[in-house]
Structure 1
């Protein structure tokens, strides 16, 4: 069975690196087609879809929440519209933080009950259940 570390840190790292690739592709497309990168980053496929930079912000926030709840890091972060450069910087910062986490800091905590907020109410769940449920339902942008 995969460890809690294997289910969190490498997966979040891969997702964030994929977001960097998506940003690079958007940048290239904008340059090749005379489009504004800001327009592309704000574009929506459907009216209730978040802009790309908000989706990236959600992934960064979730990654930092994992670092806080499972590795004991402190976070202060809010999701807001960002420029291309700010999006790259946010991703790079959290990638650097993820790279410092050692497996032994997380492994063995699968059954540990953690408290987390979902809006105003606070909920408790075993760490592994929290990660699986939250990651599969809202954390990863649908690029």
Structure 2
């Protein structure tokens, strides 16, 4: 039995985004309850050279969009990286989830062997659709979801594994 590229991406990414929205909701509630300026959490990072919480959310949604556009040929929608509040980050997540919901199965299925290019300022990486999803996009998405979770947890937000899994 083969698992389709659609099944490896759209429902998996949607669940990750839903869980991410849930931990952000708890982060915002924590800030309100404790009288903490939300910017403290939004700008928090695990280490001085790591990106803050806001950027973690931006990278997750960018990675989701990247799969849909690079592999699925879905029209790219620009998400400005200008969010400064929990509400704006939730809206960004909602936009990414809407892109997932509107992506037809046939946009991704059958693209396992398609050439996918990922360019950075220093080089261009070449993948197949399947290798891009499995060896680059999925690990990258989960890295940033995990880091966002860890930033909030490190700052005292009462979240646990079930929150991370979207099952809380």
The answer to whether TM tops 0.5 is yes
**1:100–1:3: structure 2 CA closer, same or farther, 3 Å change rule?**
same
Tell me the residue number matched to 1:59: 60
Please show how residues 44-123 of structure 1 align to structure 2 within 5 Å: 44-75=45-76, 76-80=78-82, 82-123=84-125
Tell me the residue number matched to 2:141: 139
Please show how residues 20-35 of structure 1 align to structure 2 within 5 Å: 20-35=21-36
Following superposition, the deviation at residue 78 of structure 1 comes to 5.0
Following superposition, the deviation at residue 4 of structure 1 comes to 0.5
Gaps of 5+ in 2: 150-168
Q: Deviations over 1:31-64 (max 9, x none)?
A: 2211111211111232222211100000111111
Asked if 1:127 corresponds to 2:129, the answer is yes
Distance 1:81 1:115 in 2: 28
Question: Contact 2:74 / 2:103 at 8 angstroms: preserved in 1?
Answer: no
TM-score, length basis structure 1 = 0.89
- Give me the CA root mean square deviation: 1.8
Q: How many residues align?
A: 143
Following superposition, the deviation at residue 103 of structure 1 comes to 1.4
Tell me the residue number matched to 1:42: 43
Tell me the residue number matched to 2:155: none
Gaps of 5+ in 1: none
Distance 1:136 1:63 in 2: 9
**1:17–1:61: structure 2 CA closer, same or farther, 3 Å change rule?**
same
